[in-house]
Amino acid sequence: MKKGRVTRVLSVIVRYTLLAGILYTPPVQTAHAAPTDFFTSFEEGDPQPDWENTVETDAEGRKMTEGVDGNIPFDGIQGNITDKVEQVTASANNPPNETEQKLMDQDVNTKWLAFERTAWIELQLSEPDTVVKYAFTSANDYPGRDPRDWTLSGSSDGENWTTLDTRTNEVFEERFQTKIYEFDNETAYQYYRFDIAKNAGDGLTQLAEIQLSNGIDVPPPPPSDMKSFTSKGPSSAYAAKTNVGWTGLKAFSYSGTHLTEGRAYSYNKIFDVDIPVTENTELSYYIFPEFTDKDHLDYASTYAAVDLAFSDGTYLHELEAVDQHGIKLNPQDQGNSKTLYAHQWNFKKSKIGDVAAGKTIERILIAYDNPRGPAVFKGSIDDIKIEANPEERTYDRLSEYVNTLRGTQSNGTFSRGIPSLQSLCHTGLISGRR
């Protein structure tokens, strides 16, 4: 009796088990859609570059560069060991843009400024070295601020000093003039200190560059591709803070030398992405092209733009995309347009969905492409953003569409002005009729 019931129970279990197996439907494997938005300010926690100093290759495997060397020429003295300077300190400075760090940035367009007639500058090397000559480069303005009398001393511990060289009544006849001073020395020191006892008469003292040399010849660096790398941002600016990005402490810089008289270009890749483009997708970024010449007349650095490589082998610079000013978003048209202001941050945006809807972005690039040379170029980008459905701001009054902050980031020698009623009329936001 019990055996029969057990048999029937087992039979029921088996039937239900078989039925469950027949009716079982495996879970549907849903594909995760690729993200349609992207943003980086190159800060910690943001997407970081997949490549630095790396040129893009086209569909046929050819590097997309010609006529560009990533090295920027610097009129350095023979045996220059300035790259060994780990720390610079001074008795005074003028932050944020005229500090003692500018003495070692290999850029004569920047300077150190102290609001005093006498000053000292101390240099700490990464290791002891035997300095036998040095150079001072005068700054951009006011000859009365040039050093006139000074002493150079060396030290092994930063406390006990030995005098190595003394100069009096030195005169810099020109701005940006580099003068070299040689002396006898057979001892390697890790610390070197300049004590400026007298300047040329003004109440302030300044210098553009200091170079140290051990007298040993160093071969020039080999040619390289355009430099593109995460950085501290612009090293020189009219009024904005230097050595920071537009947002945060970092940016992404591009630099090099345009070697030829004709066209030179380099398209360097930064990010490896997978971003589908919708009909509303918008690309935006900030760009800071720097002047690299003493007179601030060479706008080569403005021939730059963020570029995109699509999965079908096309590039954004080929697709007739335009920015908010109606200018084609490619390096040549951006430079020719004169809409990029050098030595300042510029905002650019483009509704790339108008020309690239349905495509997929595979790589984000920074590009330099200039039809004329030779030249030296340098700049930074920040806050790269790709949005599938950006929100368009609307305001109640037409005057609210005008940016009234133009007077910000001004200083004693550079004014950004205030928008006048006449300029507002030209924008069409305020009627010029009476």
Stronger pLDDT, 36 or 257, i.e. the higher one: 257
Q: Residue 123: count other Cβ atoms within 10 Å of its Cβ.
A: 25
pLDDT score of 391: 87
- Entry pTM: 0.80
Q: Chain-wide mean pLDDT for the chain?
A: 89
pLDDT in tens, 122-136: 999 999 999 999 999
Q: Find the distance separating the first CA and the last CA of the chain, reported in whole Å.
A: 110
Domain ranges in the chain?
41-70+224-392, 82-213, 396-434
Is the Cβ–Cβ distance between 290 and 234 less than 8 Å? yes
Is the Cβ–Cβ distance between 168 and 88 less than 8 Å? no
pLDDT in tens, 33-80: 668 999 999 999 999 999 999 999 999 999 999 999 999 988 889 999
What contacts 301, CB < 8 A, 6 or more positions away?
A: 289, 290, 291, 292, 342, 377, 378, 379
Burial class of residue 278, CB neighbours in 10 A (0-12, 13-18, 19+): middle
Burial class of residue 413, CB neighbours in 10 A (0-12, 13-18, 19+): exposed
Lowest model confidence (mean pLDDT) among 13-17, 120-124, 238-242, 413-417: 13-17
pLDDT score of 431: 40
pLDDT score of 423: 44
| Mean pLDDT on 150-173 | 98
Domains 41-70+224-392 and 82-213 fall in the same CATH topology: yes
Q: Which CATH number fits domain 41-70+224-392: 3.40.190.10, 1.10.730.10, 2.60.120.260, 3.40.50.970?
A: 2.60.120.260
pLDDT in tens, 377-392: 999 999 999 999 998 8
CA atoms within 13 A on the CB side of 208: 23
pLDDT in tens, 97-123: 899 999 999 899 999 999 999 999 999
CA atoms within 13 A on the CB side of 210: 25
Burial class of residue 421, CB neighbours in 10 A (0-12, 13-18, 19+): exposed
Instruction: For 226, list phi and psi in degrees, rounded to 5.
Output: -55, 135
Q: Retrieve residue 393's tokens.
A: 């701001």
Instruction: For 378, list phi and psi in degrees, rounded to 5.
Output: -165, 140
Asked whether the predicted pLDDT for residue 13 surpasses 60, the reply is no
Any idea what the Cα angle at residue 196 is, between residues 79 and 157, rounded to 5°? 65
pLDDT score of 219: 85
Is the Cβ–Cβ distance between 265 and 331 less than 8 Å? yes
Confidence grade of residue 414 (pLDDT, cut at 50, 70, 90):
low
What kind of architecture, by CATH, is found in domain 82-213?
Answer: Sandwich (2.60)
What secondary structure does DSSP assign to 201-225, as a single string?
SSS-EEESEEEEE-S---PPPPP-P
pLDDT in tens, 264-300: 999 999 999 999 999 999 999 999 999 999 889 999 9
pLDDT in tens, 300-343: 999 999 999 999 999 999 999 999 999 999 999 999 999 999 99
Is the Cβ–Cβ distance between 270 and 252 less than 8 Å? yes
